């Protein structure tokens, strides 16, 4: 991920801005969902395409692992997630080769992960989910804004890496022998 160099304070600022925005929006949406949806039937919009439905998820994304023992879930989804999120903070702050695009994308993943981790810590190992999409019987699982933010960050990382790979291939095809070129993954 060789990118345009960003001073650490800029990476820190961008990371904190994205992190706090993601956590704030997700936690607010979960508070509203809990107060308005917890004891009510699902609410549908756009002909059942979007459904608001309260659920508490003890597993990972789309309830993966919800059948594990509580101890295993705690180790995997709270302790291990926390360690990985701390490692991600370190990667964002101390890797000088990542640029703005990757910093933003990784900060989205961090923000969603931290918000879901906060749920697990303060909600007995469970995450509040409330969004469901689909057409007829073809539906997603129930998810939350943090899940959307994590998936958006992951998609951005993939797209940025594909773009960087194409640029490198193009430069290799057209560069002079013996010349070195720096690759910038963001403008």
93: left (phi over 0), alpha (psi -120 to 50) or beta: alpha
Concerning whether 129 is annotated as a catalytic residue, the answer is: yes
Q: Which two tokens stand for residue 132?
A: 């469901």
The CA distance from 42 to 50, in Å, is 10
Q: Specify the DSSP element, H or E, that contains 131.
A: strand 127-135
Q: Which one of the listed residues 147, 173, 176, 185 is annotated catalytic?
A: 147
Concerning whether 147 is annotated as a catalytic residue, the answer is: yes
The CA distance from 31 to 36, in Å, is 9
Count CA atoms closer than 13 A to 127's CA, side-chain side.
31
Q: Which one of the listed residues 129, 173, 176, 185 is annotated catalytic?
A: 129
The catalytic residues are 129, 147
């Amino acid at each position: 991920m060789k990118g345009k160099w960003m001073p650490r304070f800029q990476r820190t600022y961008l990371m904190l801005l994205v992190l706090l925005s993601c956590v704030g929006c997700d936690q607010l949406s979960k508070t509203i969902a809990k107060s308005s949806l917890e004891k009510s039937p699902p609410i549908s919009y756009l002909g059942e395409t979007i459904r608001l439905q309260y659920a508490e998820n003890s597993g990972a994304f789309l309830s993966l692992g919800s059948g594990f023992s509580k101890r295993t879930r705690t180790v995997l989804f709270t302790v291990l997630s926390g360690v990985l999120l701390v490692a991600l903070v370190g990667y964002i702050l101390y890797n000088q080769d990542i640029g703005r695009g990757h910093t933003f994308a990784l900060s989205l993943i961090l923000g969603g992960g931290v918000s879901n981790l906060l749920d697990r810590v303060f909600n007995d190992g469970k995450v509040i989910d409330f969004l469901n999409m689909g057409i007829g019987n073809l539906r997603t699982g129930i998810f939350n804004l943090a899940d959307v933010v994590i998936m958006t960050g992951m998609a951005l990382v993939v797209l940025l890496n594909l773009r960087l790979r194409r640029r490198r291939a193009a430069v290799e095809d057209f560069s002079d022998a013996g010349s070195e070129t720096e690759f910038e993954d963001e403008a």
